[in-house]
């Protein structure tokens, strides 16, 4: 599993394509949504968590799609499948790679987000990071499974969001609410049920993905 992870990391290091896609779409989404809401309105902070998560979702779809596009184009997936390793392990490795890439993009996106919405770094920042980690984990888990499927269908760019977004709704809702509460100064204890929802759903998605992945990549 580590070998696959390392492979993805090395490819990324050389091409930087996934990170570029993540950052581009993430920044663009942040920008567009910043313009969408009146900057002078005092209600603007309410739009903040939604904007952050919209950026995560849109850039994430692209990233997760890319993770299988390369495999498909060079028949790498067949090569991977021929290896005598459990298909579930391949899934975990790809999901981990996607998770790490999306998290890495946040290193740039989160500060930008703070700037656009006039937020000061504080304890809240750490809590938002925690929520982001949980949410991105769920997104990567579901996204990896569905990207493996959608990359082989027609209109693959359209297929992935169509499959993914209904499934990822609870993560989005949980992420937005928890981030919003935390940015408003609440402690983690108060968003406990949302954190629990995220953790439980992450586990569910990972387990289902791990089990179902072999059906998704069968020829």
Partner 1 sequence: MSDDESIRSTGFRHIANDVLPMVVLAAMIAALWAVFLYVPSEADQGVVQRIFYFHLPPAIGTFVMIFLVAIASAVYLWRGGVFWDRLAQASAEVGLLFCSIVLTVGPIWAKPIWGTWWTWDARLTTTLILWMIYVAYLVVRAWAPSREQGARYAAILGIVGAIDVPIVQRSVYWWRTIHPAVLVTREGGHGLQDPRMQFTLILCFIAFFLLGAWLLWVRLESGRVHDEAEALRMRLADAR
Residues in touch with partner 1 (CB under 8 A): 142, 145-146, 149-150, 152-155, 159, 162-163, 165-167, 169-170, 173-174, 177, 193-194, 197, 201, 204, 208, 212, 215-216, 218-219
CB of 54 to partner 1, least distance (A): 16
Q: Which two tokens stand for residue 32?
A: 């567009």
* The dihedral formed by the CA atoms of 22, 17, 212 and 150, expressed in degrees to the nearest 10: 90
CB of 181 to partner 1, least distance (A): 8
CB of 58 to partner 1, least distance (A): 17
Question: Exposed, middle or buried, 188 (CB in 10 Å: 0-12/13-18/19+)?
Answer: middle
Report d(CA 77, CA 144) in Å as an integer.
13
Return the number of the residue (74 or 193) whose C-beta is nearest partner 1: 193
Return the number of the residue (104 or 173) whose C-beta is nearest partner 1: 173
CB of 150 to partner 1, least distance (A): 8
Report d(CA 94, CA 85) in Å as an integer.
14
Return the number of the residue (83 or 162) whose C-beta is nearest partner 1: 162
- Number of C-alpha atoms within 13 angstroms, CB side, residue 147? 24
Return the number of the residue (105 or 217) whose C-beta is nearest partner 1: 217
């Amino acid at each position: 599993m580590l070998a696959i992870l390392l492979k993805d990391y090395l490819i990324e290091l050389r091409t930087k394509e996934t990170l570029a896609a993540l950052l581009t779409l993430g920044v663009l989404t942040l920008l567009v949504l910043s313009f969408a809401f009146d900057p002078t309105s005092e209600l603007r902070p309410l739009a903040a968590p939604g904007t952050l998560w919209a950026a995560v979702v849109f850039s994430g779809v692209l990233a997760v799609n890319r993770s299988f596009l390369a495999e498909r184009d060079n028949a790498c997936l067949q090569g991977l499948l021929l290896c005598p390793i459990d298909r579930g392990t391949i899934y975990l490795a790809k999901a981990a790679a996607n998770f790490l890439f999306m998290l890495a993009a946040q290193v740039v996106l989160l500060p930008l987000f703070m700037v656009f919405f006039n937020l000061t770094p504080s304890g809240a920042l750490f809590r938002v990071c925690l929520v982001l980690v949980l949410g991105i984990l769920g997104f990567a888990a579901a996204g990896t499974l569905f990207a493996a499927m959608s990359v082989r269908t027609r209109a693959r760019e359209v297929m992935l969001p169509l499959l993914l977004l209904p499934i990822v709704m609870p993560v989005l809702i949980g992420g937005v609410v928890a981030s919003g509460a935390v940015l408003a100064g609440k402690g983690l204890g108060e968003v406990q049920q949302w954190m629990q929802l995220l953790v439980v759903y992450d586990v569910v998605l990972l387990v289902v993905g791990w089990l179902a992945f072999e059906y998704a990549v069968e020829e």
